[in-house]
Structure 1
Amino acid sequence: MSQTSTVPHERAALRTHLQAVRVQWLACTPGQAAAAALAQRLRELLEQLEPQCLGLYWPLDGEFNAVIDLLAHALPQPPTLALPYAYKASRRMDYRRWDGSPPALKDECDIASCAGALVQPDVVLVPCVGFTREGYRLGYGGGYFDRWLAAHPGVTSVGLAWSCAEASFAVEPHDQALTLVLTEHEIISP
């Protein structure tokens, strides 16, 4: 599954392939048990990191639902929560304070968000369609998280991924390495 070129259509093909693998994997026994294991690892990690403001994401189909898990199992010292809001025209993203209620608003990319005040998280959870051992992620191709991370270099970024999403792909100049990648099996610290 190695990709040696940075041609956009090859990344798109890899993204499509990994999404199909994810659907099949989540329907199997290992995939069905993975959410509980990843949730436990995430809670333990966040207890160590002790974020003041935690940037979450509203999950798309097949992504780990950290939002539901964290709201159901409160951390000992609950952080301020934030959801990203993406602006299509300027291709940028901000985080907005979130009260935990079901989002009644969608951002310009049609993803659930909120209307709270702008905040800057010190820890952000980032969904991964794919990831490498070096901490790079393959997302959905918009570059929103990469641009946000480039503008906020001191933030701890935690990629949340299923183990079946490990891949090999060429790193492009805009790609930002994550601080950690967390799967249901391990913490990868590049």
Structure 2
Amino acid sequence: MHTEHPHTPGTAAAAAPGSHDRDELRRHLLAQRRAWHESPQAQAAQARVALQLLDVLRQLEPLSLGLYWPLPGEFDVVNFAQSHALGNHMQLALPYAWRAGARMEFRHWSGQPPTMQDECGIPSCEGPALVPEVLLVPCVGHTREGYRMGYGGGYFDRWLAAHPGVTAVGLSWAAGEQRFEVAPHDIALTVVITEAEVLAP
């Protein structure tokens, strides 16, 4: 049985108008990203995104930062946080997801290697629940207006809708910039960072 995953491609139970095109675009972008991931250009792009993100965080000065456990092809926020010793300056948090209701919370993370997984099989931690001031959000694609295409599970959309005061920073690649139909539940990110630019819609 297939279950939607907060961080891997999911299939909606009922297709909304225009969702077929969006699903096709998601598959295309994921395939493109897999092919690109091992290239020297991808490594250089990781370094450029890291510089952009460090500058944005210096401007925001958050006391707490929500991360995600990276999949292949995504910007590696865990390595970024460890390389820059962010845990010395702010509280770090990792998501814990439940399959039922596509529900997710963030938990304080000490920075030590995770010893557990959430219900979707993603490394997580047992720390107390924490609502981070700034949340880093992985993007499969994005628009110039700051709307995100994720993996189809709706976890981040639901969490952001429930926490409107959180600054959401999307991490994407320049090739992920697309035009796609925005669904009613989509919430624009505060900032989108790629290797090419920082978008602040």
Q: TM-score range by the shorter chain?
A: over 0.9
Answer yes or no: is 1:175 the counterpart of 2:178.
no
Partner SS, residue 37 of structure 2: helix
1:111 aligned to which of 108, 119, 122: 122
Q: Which residue of 2 aligns with 1:55?
A: 66
Do the aligned partners of 2:18 and 2:181 also contact (CA within 8 Å) in 1? no
Partners of 1:13 and 1:112 lie apart in 2 by 28
Partner SS, residue 85 of structure 1: strand
Q: RMSD of aligned C-alpha atoms? A: 1.6
Of 85-94 and 18-27, the range deviating more from structure 2 = 18-27
Q: Which residue of 1 aligns with 2:32?
A: 21
* TM-score where L is the length of structure 1: 0.93
Amino acid at match of 2:192: V
The alpha carbon displacement at 1:98 in A equals: 0.3
2:53 aligned to which of 37, 42, 48: 42
Q: Which residue of 1 aligns with 2:6?
A: none
Q: Which residue of 2 aligns with 1:122?
A: 133
Deviations 1:34-81 (A, max 9, x none): 011111111111111111110000001211001111211124961100
1:137 aligned to which of 138, 145, 148: 148
The alpha carbon displacement at 1:86 in A equals: 1.1
Partners of 1:112 and 1:48 lie apart in 2 by 29
Amino acid at match of 2:18: V
Amino acid at match of 1:149: L
Partners of 1:128 and 1:165 lie apart in 2 by 8
Give unmatched runs, 5+ long, in structure 2. Answer: 1-15
Do the aligned partners of 1:25 and 1:164 also contact (CA within 8 Å) in 2? no
Moved over 6 A (4+): none
* TM-score where L is the length of structure 2: 0.88
Partners of 1:96 and 1:35 lie apart in 2 by 26
Do the aligned partners of 1:6 and 1:170 also contact (CA within 8 Å) in 2? no
Partner SS, residue 22 of structure 2: helix
Q: Which residue of 1 aligns with 2:85?
A: 74
